[in-house]
Amino acid sequence: MKALAWIALAVSLVCTGLYVTDSTWENGWMFGPILLVSVVPILFSIANKLDGGLAALRGTVPRAFRDAPIGIGTVVSVSRTGLTVNDQPQLEIELNVDTPNGLTFRATTRQIVDLMELGAVHPGAVLPVRYLPDGQVTLAIDASRDELQTAFDRVQLSKGLITPKQLHITEHGVDAQAVILAMAPTGEIRGDRAVVNLTLRITRPNHTMFDLIQQKALPPSAIAQTQPGSAVRVRYLPQDESEVTILTALTPS
């Protein structure tokens, strides 16, 4: 489609030049400027939408976004554009994007979304994005789990939601499994996070266990994952078992 758009652009430019050199209504070249002004922009617009849609279906991002930094977007609004690719709808997604260096900006992206994943794209949902210096974004569907976790950790640190020590544990700690033995809300709210006292039983890599009681400020998305009896991923420093970070859906706490 993009090749067709470029061909149409070349033809329209040639015809426009001929029209300008013989500027009469009857010279037959007037379709050149008409094509240039009305048809070519539409072709390029459709080509860009299809390119983005095909990239999404392939599990990649558009070429301009490859290796772009990752930010964390919170969905503000979602609407359908009317375009579909292989019966998958294109959504226009408006987000507030937080970056690892502490910046926040509003952005909009159009994305082909699998029908099975539509329920995950709703106002309030947290989605990782790749972003460009001019504020353009696309969903980071190509990023690895480790890349996403690192970006999320850095954003949380920049917003003051985790401490440098917690970041150090997340990046350098040992992976382990834990079971939530008890969760007791304190009644305190920090930002949009509920502060709770958690009792955890952590299983070390050598299968021995230790218990730990910690106070955590949990985002709303983590509450359901930290109910008593829930199994969670954690990280801790073997030389210091006084604190763990809980990894729940890319939400360290």
Same domain, 120 and 175: no
Instruction: Assess whether 134 and 99 both reside in one domain.
Output: yes
Q: Which residue has the higher pLDDT, 239 or 87?
A: 239
Please give the tally of structural domains in the chain.
Answer: 3
The 10s digit of each residue's pLDDT in 33-73 is 444 445 444 444 444 444 444 344 445 788 899 889 999 99
Lowest mean pLDDT among 92-96, 120-124, 133-137: 120-124
Query: What are the distances in angstroms from CA 73 to CA 67, 79, 93, 152?
Result: 17, 16, 10, 10
Provide the percentage of residues in the chain whose pLDDT is more than 90: 43
Between 140 and 13, the more confident residue is: 140
What's the chain's average pLDDT? 79
Q: What is the pLDDT of residues 162-174, one digit of tens each?
A: 889 999 998 899 9
In this structure, is residue 73 part of a structural domain? yes
The enclosing H or E element of 6 equals helix 2-21
Q: What percent of the chain has pLDDT over 70?
A: 74
Among candidate residues 176, 161, 137, the one with its CA nearest the CA of residue 153? 161
Q: Report residue 253's pLDDT band, with 50, 70 and 90 as the boundaries.
A: low
Residue 15 has pLDDT above 90, yes or no: no
Poorest-pLDDT segment among 5-19, 77-91, 162-176? 5-19
> Per the domain annotation, does 152 fall within a domain?
no
Between these two residues, 152 and 31, which has the higher pLDDT value? 152
One domain, residues 82 and 133: yes
The reply to whether 252 falls in a domain is no
Q: What is the pLDDT of residue 54?
A: 39
154 in a structural domain:
no
pLDDT attached to residue 138: 93
Domain boundary among 40, 57, 74: 57
Q: Does residue 105 fall inside a structural domain?
A: yes
CATH number at residue 89: 2.40.50
Question: Residues with Cβ < 8 Å from 154, sequence gap 6 or more?
Answer: 100, 167
Comparing 30 with 121, which gets the higher pLDDT? 121
- Assess whether pLDDT exceeds 50 at residue 223: yes
pLDDT score at 250: 52
Q: Is residue 153 part of a domain?
A: no
Q: Are residue 52 and residue 89 in the same domain, yes or no? A: no
Task: Specify the range with the lowest mean pLDDT, choosing from 182-186, 192-196, 239-243.
Answer: 192-196
Last residue of a domain, one of 28, 57, 86: 57
Annotate 102-152 with DSSP letters as a single string.
S-EEEEEEEEE--GGGGGG-STT-EEEEEE-TTS-EEE-TT--HHHHHHHH
Same domain, 183 and 241: yes
15 is a domain residue? yes
**Distance of alpha carbon 217 from alpha carbon 51, whole angstroms:** 41
- CB neighbourhood size of 1 (10 A): 13
Q: So what's the pLDDT on residue 214?
A: 93
Q: Which of residues 147, 173, 191 is at a domain's end?
A: 147
Average pLDDT value for residue range 154-168: 88
User: How high is the pLDDT of residue 141?
Assistant: 87
The letter for the amino acid at 223 is I
Confidence of residue 248 (pLDDT cuts 50, 70, 90): low
Same domain (yes/no): 95, 50:
no
CA–CA separation, 148 and 170 (whole Å): 13
Q: Kindly state whether residue 253 falls inside one of the protein's structural domains.
A: no
Instruction: Note down the domain range covering 195.
Output: 161-247
